[in-house]
Amino acid sequence: MNDKWPNAFAGVHCETTATGTLLKNIGVDLSEPMLFGLSQGLGFIYWNMKIMDFPFIGGRIKPDLITKNITEILNLNLNIKQTTSIKKAWKNIEEPLSRKIPVGLKLDCYHLEYFKNKIHFAAHYVATTGLDEEFAYLVDTIQQGQCVKTSLKSLELARNEKGPMSSKNLSYTIESSGSIPPIQNVLPIAITQNAKDFLNPPIKNIGYKGILKTSQEIKKWFKTSTNRHRDFTTTAMLMEKAGTGGSLFRNIYRDFLKEAQAYIENRALVQAHDSYSEISKSWKEVAELFNEAGETENIVHINAASKLLVAISEKEKETMELLLTVG
């Protein structure tokens, strides 16, 4: 790897990729599925606000929580900084980089010059491994090129963007704080906690209840949308290619459950792995139906997606109830 991108993590999801790069720098080299599973990262949210162009469908827990949960369960120190000062925001990454410590950044990917799909999404994560007079060197997902660079001005704009899910120039570093606990000891904790959270959402647009609610909300959305082609083709793209939801997180969690079997002997892990293998295929089909709905502007595809989401909600509920027994 080029020395501008030391310890670059290869991942398909932005926050695990950014945080994985920071972890590799301190000698913690775990797979992306293992990081995602330990973070209790599997979730669901249907989020709609008046200031948004169209609703957001997400397949993971809230932004920032994945990194927080990983560092907590692995007994690591997480140092998060936020500021409204652009000058201070630069200092917050320049100081760690001067000590060869990579820095995680949360930002709006719209401004990043290597992004081909220009959509505002302010909960995107990258790791920065270096700066020079012109460019910032970043580690992003495999889909975005992994080892990439963008101009300092574009990074400044991305970090300082306002809007849904944005943060105030958020940056973070991770440091060791002693020994990491044995993976087999923390896996049951992570698995059962993820299941509890998924099965007991605080509001009805989260977890399995959120999936069920989405099955009805998409029908209303289709009828009231002023730009069906944009809304549904873009949502399909975000779900399947940009890493916000769809099958991506179910595939990662499926792989985590397979990897966990090397540490824990439990029949529930085998059954849940098989279940999420099927669930992920159903999510991919939902995204394809959304795309068809956008291309044809025919509600028949939304009705089919709605029916499928009802089945997915029940299947995920059953699978998470099964995983409660792992602990």
Q: Please report, for the domain that includes residue 304, its CATH number.
A: 1.20.120
Residues 20 and 149 reside in one and the same domain: yes
Domain that holds residue 90: 14-30+77-175
With 0.85 as the threshold, say if the pTM is over it.
yes
The per-residue pLDDT string of the chain (327 residues; one tens digit each, 9 = 90 and over) reads: 468 999 999 999 999 999 999 999 999 999 999 999 999 999 999 998 777 778 989 999 988 899 999 999 999 999 999 999 999 999 999 999 999 999 999 999 999 999 988 888 899 999 999 999 999 999 999 999 999 999 999 999 999 999 888 999 999 999 998 889 999 999 999 999 999 999 999 999 999 999 999 999 999 999 999 999 999 999 998 888 766 777 899 999 999 999 999 999 999 999 999 999 999 999 999 999 999 999 999 999 999 999 999 999 999 999 999 999 997
Residues 315 and 166 reside in one and the same domain: no
Residues 163 and 18 reside in one and the same domain: yes
Residues 152 and 206 reside in one and the same domain: no
Q: Is 320 within a domain?
A: yes
Residue after which a domain boundary falls, among 127, 154, 175? 175
Length of the chain (residues): 327
Residues 125 and 215 reside in one and the same domain: no
State how many domains the chain has: 2
Residues 18 and 161 reside in one and the same domain: yes
Q: Is 63 within a domain?
A: no
